[in-house]
Chains A and B, each alone.
Chain A
Amino acid sequence: MNRRAHRFLGVLLVVLVPVLGAAGTPQERFDEGTAAYQAGDAVGAEQAFREVIAGGTEDGHAWYNLGNAWYRLGRPGLAIHAWRRAEVYLPRDPDVRANLDRARLEVKDRLEAPILVPAHFFWQRPLAPGESARLAAVLAALALVLANLLVARRRAGQRGWSWAGVGALGLAAALLGLSTVALQRSLAQGAVAVVLAPEVTARSTVGGEGVDLFVLHEGAEVAVRAREPGHVLVTLPDGRWGWLPRAAVATLDPAEGPPGA
Chain B
Amino acid sequence: MPRVPRVLGRLVLLALTWLVAPAALAARAVLTVDTDRVAVGQTVTLRLEVADGQAAGVPEVPAPEGARIRYVGQSQSAVIVNFQATRTVTYQYALTPLEPGILDIGPVAVPLRSGTVVAPAVSLEVAPSEPSGRGRKEGARAELVSTPEGSQADLWAGQVVVYRFVFHHRDPLVDARWSPPAFEGFTPEPSTEQVKREYRIEEAGQAVAVHEILVPLVATGEGRGTIPPATVEASFTDTSGDPRRRRPLDEFFDLGFTRTTRQAVLASDAVSWRIRALPEPDPEEGASGFSGLVGHFEVRSQLGAARVRAGESVTLTVEIAGDGTLSGFRLPPSPDSGAFRAYDDAPEVTGALEQGRFRSVARLRRAIVPLEEGLLQIPPIPITWFDPQEGRYVTASIPGGTLEVLPGEVGDPDVVSFAGDGRPAQHEVEALGEDILPIHTGVRIASRRLEPSDPVSLLLVGLPGLALLVQLAGSLKGRLGARSRRHRAIRALAKRLPSDRDARLAALDQALREAAGLALELPPASVDAARLEEALPPDLGPVAADLYRRLSGFRYGGGETDPDLDGQVLRMVDRLLGRAR
Q: Which residues of A contact B (CB under 8 A)?
A: 26-27, 30, 34, 37-38, 45, 52, 56-62, 64-65, 68-69, 71, 89, 95, 98-99, 102-103, 108-110, 117-118, 120, 128-130, 133-134, 136-138, 140-141, 144-145, 147-148, 151-152, 154-155, 157, 178-182, 184-186, 189, 191, 204-207, 209-211, 213, 224-228, 233, 238-241, 243, 254
* Interface check B173, CB cutoff 8 A: yes
Q: A68-B436, A130-B454, A157-B581 are in contact. List 20 more A-B contacts (CB 8 A).
A: A37-B439, A57-B445, A58-B447, A61-B440, A68-B439, A103-B436, A130-B449, A130-B450, A134-B454, A137-B457, A144-B464, A151-B471, A155-B478, A182-B252, A207-B176, A226-B172, A238-B73, A239-B200, A243-B174, A254-B449
Bound state CA distance, A180 and B450, in angstroms? 9
Residues in chain B near residue A136, CB distance under 8 A: 457
Bound state CA distance, A62 and B444, in angstroms? 10
Interface hub of B79, B197, B460 (most chain A Cβ within 10 A): B460
Residues in chain B near residue A180, CB distance under 8 A: 450
* Interface check B292, CB cutoff 8 A: no
16 A-B pairs in the complex with CB atoms less than 8 angstroms apart: A37-B439, A95-B438, A110-B77, A117-B255, A118-B254, A120-B253, A148-B464, A148-B467, A148-B468, A151-B472, A191-B257, A206-B174, A206-B175, A224-B257, A227-B259, A233-B239
Q: Are B255 and A204 in contact (CB under 8 A)?
A: no
Binding site secondary structure of chain A: helix
* Interface check B86, CB cutoff 8 A: no
Residues in chain A near residue B402, CB distance under 8 A: none
The 8 closest A-B pairs by CB, nearest first: A144-B464, A137-B457, A182-B253, A211-B196, A59-B445, A207-B175, A58-B449, A141-B460
* Interface check B556, CB cutoff 8 A: no
Residues in chain A near residue B457, CB distance under 8 A: 133-134, 136-137
Q: Are A117 and B254 in contact (CB under 8 A)?
A: yes
Bound state CA distance, A206 and B173, in angstroms? 9
Chain B residue nearest in CB terms to A140: B461
Bound state CA distance, A99 and B465, in angstroms? 44
Q: How far is the CB of A242 from chain B (nearest CB, A)?
A: 9
Binding site secondary structure of chain B: mixed
Residues in chain B near residue A152, CB distance under 8 A: 471
Partner of A60, one of B232, B448, B467, B468: B448
Q: How far is the CB of B270 from chain A (nearest CB, A)?
A: 22
Known pairs A60-B448, A102-B436, A206-B175; A141 contacts B461 (CB<8 A):
yes
Known pairs A130-B450, A147-B468, A238-B73; A155 contacts B474 (CB<8 A):
yes
Known pairs A151-B472, A227-B259; A239 contacts B207 (CB<8 A):
yes
Residues in chain A near residue B177, CB distance under 8 A: 207, 209
Q: Are B439 and A110 in contact (CB under 8 A)?
A: no
Q: Are B450 and A109 in contact (CB under 8 A)?
A: no
Interface residues on B, range: 35 or more
Q: Are B173 and A27 in contact (CB under 8 A)?
A: no
Bound state CA distance, A154 and B478, in angstroms? 12
Known pairs A102-B434, A211-B211; A226 contacts B447 (CB<8 A):
no
Interface hub of B255, B436, B454 (most chain A Cβ within 10 A): B436
Q: How far is the CB of B194 from chain A (nearest CB, A)?
A: 11
Q: Are B461 and A233 in contact (CB under 8 A)?
A: no
Interface hub of A148, A152, A184 (most chain B Cβ within 10 A): A148
Q: How far is the CB of B72 from chain A (nearest CB, A)?
A: 9
* Interface check B237, CB cutoff 8 A: yes
Known pairs A182-B255, A207-B177, A225-B257; A26 contacts B172 (CB<8 A):
no
* Interface check B429, CB cutoff 8 A: no
Bound state CA distance, A17 and B176, in angstroms? 58
Residues in chain A near residue B302, CB distance under 8 A: none
Chain B residue nearest in CB terms to A254: B449
Q: How far is the CB of A161 from chain B (nearest CB, A)?
A: 14
Q: Which residues of B contact A (CB under 8 A)?
A: 73, 75-79, 92, 172-178, 196-198, 200, 207, 209, 211, 232, 237, 239, 249, 252-259, 261, 434-441, 443-450, 454, 456-457, 460-461, 463-465, 467-468, 471-472, 474-475, 478, 581
Residues in chain A near residue B255, CB distance under 8 A: 117, 182, 185-186, 189, 191
Chain A residue nearest in CB terms to B436: A99
Bound state CA distance, A208 and B207, in angstroms? 24
Q: How far is the CB of B456 from chain A (nearest CB, A)?
A: 7
Q: How far is the CB of A109 from chain B (nearest CB, A)?
A: 7
Bound state CA distance, A117 and B463, in angstroms? 32
Bound state CA distance, A104 and B467, in angstroms? 52
Q: Are B440 and A65 in contact (CB under 8 A)?
A: yes
Interface hub of B239, B461, B467 (most chain A Cβ within 10 A): B461
Known pairs A109-B77, A204-B176; A64 contacts B257 (CB<8 A):
no
Partner of B448, one of A59, A145, A155, A191: A59
Q: How far is the CB of B193 from chain A (nearest CB, A)?
A: 12
Residues in chain B near residue A207, CB distance under 8 A: 175-177
Known pairs A59-B445, A109-B77, A204-B211; A137 contacts B460 (CB<8 A):
yes
Partner of B239, one of A61, A110, A225: A225
Partner of A138, one of B249, B447, B460: B460
Q: Are B445 and A130 in contact (CB under 8 A)?
A: no
Q: Are A34 and B439 in contact (CB under 8 A)?
A: yes
Residues in chain A near residue B461, CB distance under 8 A: 137, 140-141, 144
Partner of A57, one of B209, B252, B447: B447
Interface hub of A95, A130, A224 (most chain B Cβ within 10 A): A130
Partner of B198, one of A58, A213, A233: A213
Q: How far is the CB of A57 from chain B (nearest CB, A)?
A: 5
Q: How far is the CB of A201 from chain B (nearest CB, A)?
A: 13
Bound state CA distance, A102 and B433, in angstroms? 11
Q: Are A61 and B445 in contact (CB under 8 A)?
A: yes
Q: Are A240 and B200 in contact (CB under 8 A)?
A: yes
Known pairs A59-B446, A133-B457; A225 contacts B172 (CB<8 A):
yes
Q: Are B448 and A128 in contact (CB under 8 A)?
A: yes
Residues in chain A near residue B258, CB distance under 8 A: 226
Residues in chain B near residue A206, CB distance under 8 A: 174-175
Partner of B256, one of A71, A141, A225, A243: A225
Q: Are B444 and A151 in contact (CB under 8 A)?
A: no
Bound state CA distance, A42 and B559, in angstroms? 109
